[in-house]
Structure 1
Amino acid sequence: MTDDTTDTPATPREALDQLLAGNRRFTGGTPRHPNQDAGRRADTAYAQHPFAVLLGCSDSRLAAEIIFDQGLGDLFVVRTAGHAVGPEVLGSIEYGTKVLGSPLVVVLGHDACGAIAATRGAVENGTIARGYVRDVIERVTPSVLAAQAAGVSENDGFIDTHVRHTVDLLLDRSRELADQVASGRTAVVGLSYRLAEGSVRPVVARGVDLPAAAARATAPAS
């Protein structure tokens, strides 16, 4: 562990670049483990200024600070199974952007997502989950239905559709967040994570342009 620190990004572009750079360090086996020492712990004890809000899946393999090589106080993380969105999630994201001033919101999906698999099974077989798992499946169902209607058959297609749907849902449901994006203060970006490789792939962006290489990688085939 090192005491290496970096300047806090002030714009959506800077925040996205810092996240993607951290993921490259993670996948390349050269993490810096920034902002994880005793000094950082003391500095953040009474105030936090995270540069990104991250809405991710609760999957145990999706630890945001590790896969993006960040530290204490860098990310304001909200996690639910299948990154399902309810009022408490919207309120948490608005708190991160409006109160804490984060210039970036990231929706992080991933391959082998159990929530998407369970939802696909429920839709295809007509099964009904018990307990509150049913609520998660109901929140993911619109994404699965949209993917099916578009003729999607590959797992990556279902994941990308759900990430895009979640980004759109945040902006549709939260007037506060939509206004921040419209003003240029905040951006919302959807990423997809590959568990085996450890890498993230941009899926969609609102309020910021994707890096050129990422934009080419996510462009639909002609």
Structure 2
Amino acid sequence: MRRLIISLGVTFLLFSCKNNLEDPLTIVTNDEIISNKIITKEDQEKLTPDQVIQDLIEGNKDFVDDKLTIRNNSERVREASLGQYPEAVVLSCLDSRVPVEDVFHKGIGDIFVTRVAGNIVNDDILGSLEYACKVSGSKVVLVLGHEHCGAIKSSIKGVELGHITHLLDKIKPAVLEAKETFKGEQSAKNPEFVDAVCKYNVELSIKEIRERSPILRDMEEKGEIKIIGGIYDMKEGKVEFL
């Protein structure tokens, strides 16, 4: 009996080893880890808004194509501790399904990210965007909306709940604008209508930024920055730049 048990154990071990060999671990060499270079002040100053936009487009393509990037985050943390010069600032929704840095294939020190449900604009958001561009030198402001946005749906439904009510009020102008142009069922149950409101809401936030921030408006007029919008596709991971 003991011999049978030992024999079965050896057979199981050999079977396990065989399976492991058929599905080997991925070995990463040092030359496959991307350069730990953090954006410097000199690097940032040389960038134009158009170059930054193109970099974001290419980074998103890498994300969609599932191109794995391996970074030495421990080193990047130490390098970035000396200062930060991100190339862009992204105003994104709170939604946990939109991992902004990953979406643009970026790491520590590459971009600023500010989040709020519905990617709406308020005084604190404007102050953050102004800090990113005027103080820290970012060249692009990107307002990033996304499909299936809960804040958009709630605003369409007219949800009222605590401080959420005040937040959703900021999306209502986009809902009203969509209702004037959209042909079809105008409800939160219709994904196409939700998408239409989402686009108008991104455009509304861009308009708010330009109207309410003389600092950013002046920088854009001088060509120092660009203020743009985008919509994130939840199924494909692709950003449609507006």
TM range (shorter): 0.7 to 0.9
**CA distance, structure 1, for counterparts of residue 182 and residue 155 of structure 2:** 17
Does the 8 Å CA contact 2:182/2:196 hold for their aligned counterparts? Answer: no
Letter in 2 for 1:69: H
Letter in 1 for 2:120: A
Flag as ranges the 4+ runs of structure 1 deviating above 4 A: 5-9
Out of 107, 111, 115, which is 2:143 matched to?
Answer: 107
Name 2:101's counterpart in structure 1. 65
Once the two structures are superposed, residues 54-103 of structure 1 have per-residue CA deviations (whole angstroms, 9 ceiling, x without a partner) of 00000001111111110001111110000121100000000000000000
Closer, same or farther: CA 24–182 of 1 in aligned 2, 3 Å: same
Specify every segment of 5 or more residues in structure 2 that has no aligned partner in the other structure, as ranges: 1-31, 185-191
Name 1:177's counterpart in structure 2. 216
Once the two structures are superposed, residues 189-216 of structure 1 have per-residue CA deviations (whole angstroms, 9 ceiling, x without a partner) of 100001111000012xxxxxxxxxxxxx
Does the 8 Å CA contact 2:36/2:75 hold for their aligned counterparts? Answer: no
Letter in 2 for 1:166: S
Using structure 1 for the length normalisation, give the TM-score: 0.84
**CA distance, structure 2, for counterparts of residue 89 and residue 152 of structure 1:** 33
Identical pairs, percent: 32
Query: Which one has the bigger helix percentage?
Result: 2
Out of 67, 82, 86, which is 1:46 matched to?
Answer: 82
Name 2:231's counterpart in structure 1. 192
Deviation at 1:136, TM superposition (A): 1.4
Tell which structure's C-alpha radius of gyration is larger. Answer: 2
**CA distance, structure 1, for counterparts of residue 183 and residue 88 of structure 2:** 31
More displaced 10-residue stretch of structure 1: 60-69 or 24-33:
24-33
More displaced 10-residue stretch of structure 1: 156-165 or 179-188:
156-165
Specify every segment of 5 or more residues in structure 1 that has no aligned partner in the other structure, as ranges: 123-127, 204-222
Closer, same or farther: CA 51–42 of 1 in aligned 2, 3 Å: same
Deviation at 1:46, TM superposition (A): 2.4
Once the two structures are superposed, residues 105-164 of structure 1 have per-residue CA deviations (whole angstroms, 9 ceiling, x without a partner) of 000000000000000111xxxxx5111111111111111111112235523221111111
Name 2:9's counterpart in structure 1. none
Instruction: Give the match's secondary structure for 1:201.
Output: strand
Closer, same or farther: CA 58–197 of 1 in aligned 2, 3 Å: same
Does the 8 Å CA contact 1:181/1:188 hold for their aligned counterparts? Answer: yes
Letter in 2 for 1:180: M
Name 2:26's counterpart in structure 1. none
**CA distance, structure 1, for counterparts of residue 153 and residue 127 of structure 2:** 27
Name 1:211's counterpart in structure 2. none
